[in-house]
A = this chain, B = another copy of it.
């Protein structure tokens, strides 16, 4: 049996990994490029994964006492001028609306010169400024604090080089924004969001991550502290899968978000923001995919168990369909991972072998093939997507129908856990702690590093976790430049730190913190 996917990630060809990624996106029917430069169309299976992400994360966001709202897509240009660092960070990549009407001029449709906006509008790249403006109206006294809101929205950051889910001009995300009376409360909220992301990534996406604080040079424009979760992809690179920012009082000062403190004086709020996006779907693919396509953790799979009836245009077909319908109905009335099972009887007019491989490529966790003989014997034959093959042979198991239904919750839980364990073992085995000097770092990453600029290919290197002296300003710039020669970046300083440190890997000075170094998307 050949692999189901047209491109393998493991042939050793250094351009293979990005090709393999694109092949999954295409063959699992997740998304496609649109005729609009830099934008993608998210297809039903890919959007189904996003809906699962939304449902499961939204519950967690609400449990944090955060309310959902909706803020305008357009932000007046002037808003960006208020927070200087922020605009420096975003000004280079924004879509600008300048007209509000089209007109046929010389037979050609074009922006109507009479409908030019007095002030251009920016399509939001993120919403700190416009939400801060609302906060300035909503916050009057300490009784209005903390104020915690979130929105699920589309944002636009112009991109010249697109990669589906990982980097597109328009993407879907959630952005949380909070305002607090003091630094301590705001920082606690920032870290609560980070911890929610970590737990979500590990529990729902089966994506083991390292949660930590970004170094100064990797901070969100205008933030005092930026935290991230970083996941290791199957090419050994890091994917930043979520960020949480403590913004200090800089946005509050720019937007005049003040409250009457105990003293009666007006004080500036401390604010935070945090976000995750459709990029996580790219992380899912690059973590769990194999040479047969995607493997979806059951918690995030739009369909967890797909029943493919083997129909032959014969009288037995009716019995097969009836058996399948009853099976799916019983499964959908059963709970797994805290929710009703999502099972589907695939009755599409297509050959059953073709359907089976489509579901393998899409990564449905359990695929049932139902033939007349199974039905006659009351049996269910199924494949586990996480454990598909024995060598070249596809593995299939059979259980009596009632036993299959009874065992389905445990099977799905085992698949969820198995995918996490596999990725966790890879992560743990590939954070190298034995590289402690610049020379060792340069030697390790200096070989096999000639991958394409877009971040594809190259030998699997993993990450290095080493002590550093946490220099700032020019000292940090110099380190960033040296790392760049090896195509490396500082990812984050993990939240769990030892109490004593080796000397700084960059300078040999006393270390004060351990930091993750790696190549990244």
Contact = CB atoms under 8 A, between A and B. Distances in A.
Interface in A104-132: 104, 109-111, 120-123, 130
Contacts of A70: 41-42, 47, 50, 172
A73 B156 contact: yes
A97 interface: yes
Contacts of A414: none
Interface stretch (A32-40, A293-301, A435-443, A502-510): A32-40
Interface of A: 32, 34-36, 39-44, 47-48, 50-51, 67-77, 80-81, 87, 91-104, 109-111, 120-123, 130, 133-134, 143, 149, 153-154, 156, 158, 170, 172, 349-350
A160 to B, nearest CB: 9
Contact of A143 (B87, B96, B349): B349
Contacts of A34: 71-72, 130, 134
B87 A67 contact: no
A135 to B, nearest CB: 11
28 contacts: A34-B71, A34-B130, A34-B134, A36-B121, A36-B130, A41-B70, A42-B70, A43-B69, A44-B67, A47-B69, A48-B68, A70-B172, A73-B154, A73-B170, A77-B102, A80-B102, A91-B101, A92-B101, A93-B101, A94-B100, A94-B102, A95-B97, A96-B99, A96-B100, A97-B123, A98-B98, A100-B158, A102-B122
A35 B111 contact: no
Q: Which of A87, A120, A122 has the most CB of B within 10 A?
A: A120
Given A47-B68, A68-B44, A72-B41, A91 B96 contact: no
Given A95-B97, A96-B98, A133 B35 contact: yes
Contacts of A123: 73, 97, 123
A368 to B, nearest CB: 21
Contact of A96 (B73, B80, B81, B111): B111
A156 B99 CA distance: 13
Contact of A99 (B98, B102, B110, B172): B98
A76 to B, nearest CB: 6
A122 B39 CA distance: 13
